């Protein structure tokens, strides 16, 4: 972690919230089959915090300004634990909106105790908005910044998880990819068209595992910060997801578009 973000009272708050989150999340582990789901989300959460910290640093935020995005990164998926315990799925459309559930449970568990009221509102807002398909057009600037950083951090780490998951010959846990159907070459043309049009796709359109990969590729168009684009490039995650798709001529055209658009974003250009 950067020294300037590790200094001061802010870091004590992050540590306290982190400890509270771990106590809450580890309470779901009980040595049974579903421990994998909770472990996956604990691991994801801690990595999203790391990515959020790196983005805050890359974007030049002060330790104070970084606090809301970092606390929201720690708490964004609190709802995944009760969601999986009750419904045995991570599919919101078959259960509940897990961001709403995160807000309800983090309040119930008092996971923001000791956090000043203004900061608490920012964290709750960013948690609530982390999985919205699009952010509302008007948001207070501090909330907008926190929400954007959490969304970027979450996406970058979901890419890591999906690359690991889709690289397994027989995924033991189809829940990880929201139970999308396996097929080596099938994908839904509308999902591809959406990415080619640089539009944000929708989880509800996913039928095949390749649709999920296409949706993830399309996240290039939903990254908010230059630092997230740089991390995406440095980690090679975009290439890795593209490699997992069938290499037909449509996908090759997509690869060309994505490579050109990522290069533009890295130069600081806005995309069309």
CB 203 within 8 A of CB 128: no
Give 64's contacts (C-beta < 8 A, 6+ positions apart).
10
Give 256's contacts (C-beta < 8 A, 6+ positions apart).
none
Give 176's contacts (C-beta < 8 A, 6+ positions apart).
40, 90, 161, 162, 165
Query: What DSSP character marks residue 221?
Result: G
**Closer residue to Fe ion in complex, CB, 154/187:** 154
Query: Rounded CA gap, 142 and 261, in Å?
Result: 28
* Minimum separation from the CB atom of position 247 to Fe ion (A): 31
* Minimum separation from the CB atom of position 39 to Fe ion (A): 16
**By beta-carbon distance, which residue lies closest to Fe ion?**
77
* Minimum separation from the CB atom of position 177 to Fe ion (A): 14
* Minimum separation from the CB atom of position 155 to Fe ion (A): 10
**Closer residue to Fe ion in complex, CB, 49/63:** 49
CB 166 within 8 A of CB 228: no
Kindly list the residues in this chain that would bind Fe ion in the complex (CB under 5 A): 77, 131
Helix (H, G, I), strand (E, B) or coil at 168: coil
**Closer residue to Fe ion in complex, CB, 131/210:** 131
**Closer residue to Fe ion in complex, CB, 18/155:** 155
**Closer residue to Fe ion in complex, CB, 77/175:** 77
* Minimum separation from the CB atom of position 257 to Fe ion (A): 27
């Amino acid at each position: 972690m950067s020294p300037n973000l590790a200094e001061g009272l802010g870091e004590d708050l992050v540590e306290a919230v982190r400890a509270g989150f771990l106590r809450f999340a580890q309470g779901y582990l009980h040595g049974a089959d579903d421990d994998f789901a909770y472990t996956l989300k604990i691991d994801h959460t801690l990595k999203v915090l790391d990515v959020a910290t790196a983005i805050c640093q890359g974007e030049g935020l002060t330790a104070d300004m970084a606090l809301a995005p970092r606390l929201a990164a720690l708490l964004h998926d609190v709802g995944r634990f009760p969601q999986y315990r009750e419904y045995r799925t991570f599919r919101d459309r078959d259960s509940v909106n897990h961001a709403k559930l995160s807000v309800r449970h983090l309040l119930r568990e008092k996971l923001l105790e000791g956090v000043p009221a203004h900061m608490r509102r920012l964290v709750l807002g960013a948690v609530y908005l982390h999985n919205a398909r699009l952010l509302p057009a008007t948001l207070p600037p501090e909330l907008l910044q926190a929400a954007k950083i959490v969304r970027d951090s979450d996406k970058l780490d979901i890419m890591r998880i999906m690359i690991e998951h889709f690289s397994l010959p027989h995924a033991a846990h189809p829940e990880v990819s929201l139970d999308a159907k396996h097929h080596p070459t099938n994908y839904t043309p509308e999902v591809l068209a959406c990415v080619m049009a640089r539009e944000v796709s929708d989880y509800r359109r996913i039928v095949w595992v390749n649709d999920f990969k296409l949706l993830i590729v399309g996240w290039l168009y939903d990254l908010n910060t230059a630092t997230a684009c740089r991390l995406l490039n440095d980690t090679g995650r975009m290439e890795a997801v593209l490699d997992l798709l069938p290499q037909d001529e449509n996908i090759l055209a997509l690869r060309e578009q994505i490579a050109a658009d990522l290069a533009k974003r890295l130069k600081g250009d806005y995309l069309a």
